[in-house]
Amino acid sequence: MHARSPRYVRLAVLILFAACGREGAENVPRKLPPETPSVPENVVDLTYGFGPETIYWPTDTQGFQLEVLAAGVTDQGYYYAANRYSSAEHGGTHLDAPIHFNAEGLTADALPVKRLVGLGAVVDVTEKAHRDRDYQVSVGDLELWEQLHGPLPEGAIVFLRTGFGRHWPDRELYLGTALTGPEAVPELHFPGLHPDAARWLAAERDVKAVGIDTPSIDHGQSTLFESHVALFAANVPAFENVANLLEVPDRDFLVVALPMKIEGGSGAPLRIVAMW
């Protein structure tokens, strides 16, 4: 028994009163007061704001649109504002649901919340990505992380830090091209996750999700999107365009990643926070 554990102290008190018989038991409160949860000292927002500069996949030429419906003082004398927005599922900081590349995969609204909350780990490949815009995070990179930090936590949410977040929202630096439309796709150059590493994370480490600070979990020059396919076959979702990964530690932090609950969605805008 842990002598200083509040849970065991409360249990010992209950046992003591029970041992004292009915007279003592009458003085036992119906419910013991719950422990007060501690508030994390550090909370980092891993989400980019949605607005005119938000980067979407280059074939989406509409981007994020906000229409002002009302903004001003009403006839009754109070201020009132309301807007209407329009957005594709896959733009800005967002979720890729498994159905995005798996006909039998989970949709955005069907993902269990427990899969979107977990212990985080950050695999840093910034130096390699700086030397090679088309770098793919390898199984070796993941194994090196474990050599340095110990095994990935069970059910971890793994983030890949390429350093490309520093380019946001410059489309040319971030995507590798300023072009839009179908002609932009062959010109995309940014790092991603190698398909072998995607399979390793899903099969060997049973991770909850994988996030990256680039536009796609597959590198820019991918044409078959094999890392998407590998992850989504195991119903492991992806988080793309993750912000501020330079501000979080390599391990020992909690992740809460909650997407818009779009019924049947192949993706959704995503709000992610890291806490420790």
- Give residue-wise pLDDT tens across range 108-158: 999 999 999 999 999 999 999 999 999 999 999 999 999 999 999 999 999
Residue 119 domain-assigned (yes or no): yes
In a shared domain, residues 32 and 160: no
Total domains, the chain: 2
Residue 75 domain-assigned (yes or no): no
137: β partners? 193
In a shared domain, residues 225 and 260: yes
CATH number at residue 223: 3.50.30.50
Residue 74 domain-assigned (yes or no): no
In a shared domain, residues 94 and 230: yes
Residue 83 domain-assigned (yes or no): no
In a shared domain, residues 1 and 56: no
> Is residue 70 pLDDT above 70, yes or no?
yes
Residue 24 domain-assigned (yes or no): yes
In a shared domain, residues 107 and 4: no
In a shared domain, residues 250 and 270: yes
pLDDT tens track for 228-270: 999 999 999 999 999 999 999 999 999 999 999 999 999 999 9
Torsion of CA 212, 214, 215, 216, to 10 degrees: -50
In a shared domain, residues 56 and 1: no
In a shared domain, residues 29 and 99: no
When pLDDT is cut at 50, 70 and 90, the band that residue 58 belongs to is very high
In a shared domain, residues 110 and 31: no
pLDDT tens track for 186-236: 999 999 999 999 999 999 999 999 999 999 999 999 999 999 999 999 999
Residue 72 domain-assigned (yes or no): no
In a shared domain, residues 25 and 55: no
pTM to 2 decimal places: 0.86
Residue span of the structural domain in which 8 resides: 1-37
In a shared domain, residues 23 and 55: no
Q: What share of the chain has pLDDT > 90, as a percent? A: 85
> Is residue 101 pLDDT above 70, yes or no?
yes
CB 57 within 8 A of CB 36: no
Determine the pLDDT at residue 59.
95
Mean pLDDT score of the chain: 91
In a shared domain, residues 115 and 10: no
| Residue 258 φ/ψ, nearest 5 degrees | -115, 115
Determine the pLDDT at residue 31.
63
| Residue among 9, 26, 8 nearest 17 (CA) | 26
CB 257 within 8 A of CB 117: yes
